[in-house]
Amino acid sequence: MAHSASNPASSPAPWEEIKPTALLVLADGTVIEGQGIGTTGSAVAEVCFNTAITGYQEILTDPSYAGQIVTFTFPHIGNIGTNDEDAETIDMDSNSGVRGAVVKTDITEPSNYRSSRHFDAWLKSRGIIGIAGVDTRALTAHIREKGLANAVIAHAPDGNFDIEALKREAAGWNGLVGADLAKDVSTRETFEWTQTPWVWDEGFGNQTDPAFHVVAIDFGIKRNILRLLARQGCKLTILPATATGEDILALKPDGVFLSNGPGDPAATGEYAVDAIKAVIDAGVPMFGICLGHQMLALALGGKTVKMHQGHHGANHPVQDKTTGKVEITSMNHGFAVDGDSLPKGVSETHVSLFDGSNCGLSVDGKPIFSVQYHPEASPGPQDSHYLFTRFLNLVRQNKGMEKLPE
């Protein structure tokens, strides 16, 4: 943390070295020093970088980041504090599974009328370890060159660390390949959702007159996805990641939503693919986002692959092949669908303009599609909201109703 400018005696002399109270130790032996923020202790995880300049609270509460340490390339993290409305976990007070946060500058006092808690106190309340004072540009370059890194993040106020033990722990961690993390962040019980999006000077609304019933499978779902579906006129029933096809279809849904989530899709697919296949066979309209997109691809016979550095940020250009439009999207994934593996009868609908990777698919002749990015995250700010209308139009069409313009 920064020394107080109002108390010169508390500041070190220019020749004094500030002892690091936090370390980021990579599996290749790289040791990065800094000052600890958030909770104390240590955690092993995969280090990624996120290029967004806003939304740090939403990022750190996105269950898709479970098992990861987020490096923020934007230097001023924590400057607007935190509040009780911007968390994305279903349980507002729970940790999303993110293991740590890496930031460049010391946290300043919050400067925003919506702030209700200092960022450091908020990190502590959620059990998130942080390290400040890191050259995040250099760390990002390291990840871009060498790939997503396994690492240990450690915070000890006394600055005493067993660096060799931390190196061994980082090098010995198995990583995210083969890791099913969706079960860790998913709801354990079925519940319903009615909250609609936040409106200036009004707050969140409530859906009281739904026209459709959508069942959402929670692999790590975000609140704003549910809000946007509720705004479209949906009664929402949320089921655990382990729900079977029988569980889903017994609710007689008008549509099924496959949520975002963390971990290796192939591992989660061991139990989820069969359920998705049952929905496909039943002809129920279906929409998937992020991990839900990957799970749908697996159910259709496609494959997923681990990415070199992943896509994490709010500035990713994606082209919708259906309309030709380019959207500025929010992304968070370290695995991707292999577009070349999609079988006949499945079309690639969206593609990344950064690297050409697959970002969407649809099933020919069936009301089923998915995207790799987060249309609810509003980086454009609303470039991708049409996808929710597109999904509900498939529901309307399936029920013989008139479609709405996208």
The residues carrying an active-site annotation are 290, 374, 376
Instruction: Please report which residue ranges of 197-318 form alpha helices under DSSP H.
Output: 223-231, 245-249, 265-282, 291-299
Secondary structure percentages of the chain, helix, strand, coil, to 5: 25, 30, 45
Q: How far apart are CA 362 and CA 260, in angstroms?
A: 17
Q: How far apart are CA 322 and CA 324, in angstroms?
A: 6
Look up residue 295 and give its two tokens: 């799970």
Q: How far is CA 78 from CA 3, 48, 164, in A?
A: 17, 19, 31
Q: How far is CA 134 from CA 11, 61, 97, 101, 131, in A?
A: 20, 22, 22, 11, 7
- Which of 182, 220, 183 is CA-nearest to residue 89? 220
Q: How far apart are CA 373 and CA 371, in angstroms?
A: 6
Chain mean position to CA 392: 23
287 Cβ neighbours under 8 A, 6+ residues apart: 255, 256, 257, 258, 368, 369, 370, 387, 390, 391, 394
